[in-house]
Amino acid sequence: MAVKIIFCPSCGDEVEIADLYEGVEINCKSCGCVMLYQEGKLLLLDTNEEFNLEDLESYEEGEEIEDEEEEEEEFYYYDEEY
């Protein structure tokens, strides 16, 4: 069972994180990059770049937000007609 699903910062494929604790190594099965979870961020060991975990999370929840924004835009559009 995955704790989180993120996008790999190297190749963009989805990576399932089974355990999330300080110092855990996360491997991308597609490109083989290794990430280390430290202080709430992911450190890409190949390049020493740091990424916020929230920035790499899967956007399935974000798609629902976009739909709500479209509904709001339609609502405002109809308000202007009256």
CB atoms within 10 A of CB 15: 24
What is the pTM for the complete model shown?
0.61
* Segment 60-68 mean pLDDT: 47
pLDDT of residue 59: 57
DSSP 10-53: TT--EEEES---TT-EEE-TTT--EEEEETTEEEETTTTEEEEH
Q: Give the model confidence (pLDDT) of 8-50 as tens digits.
A: 988 989 999 888 889 999 999 999 999 999 988 999 998 889 9
| 70 pLDDT more than 80 | no
The parent domain of residue 33 ranges over 4-81
Higher pLDDT, 49 or 60: 49
The confidence score (pLDDT) of residue 60 equals 53
**Three-point CA angle 60, 64, 67, nearest 5°:** 135
Q: How far is CA 8 from CA 11, 21, 35, 78, in A?
A: 6, 18, 9, 41
Please give the Cα distance from 61 to 4 (Å, whole number): 12
Q: How many domains does the chain have?
A: 1
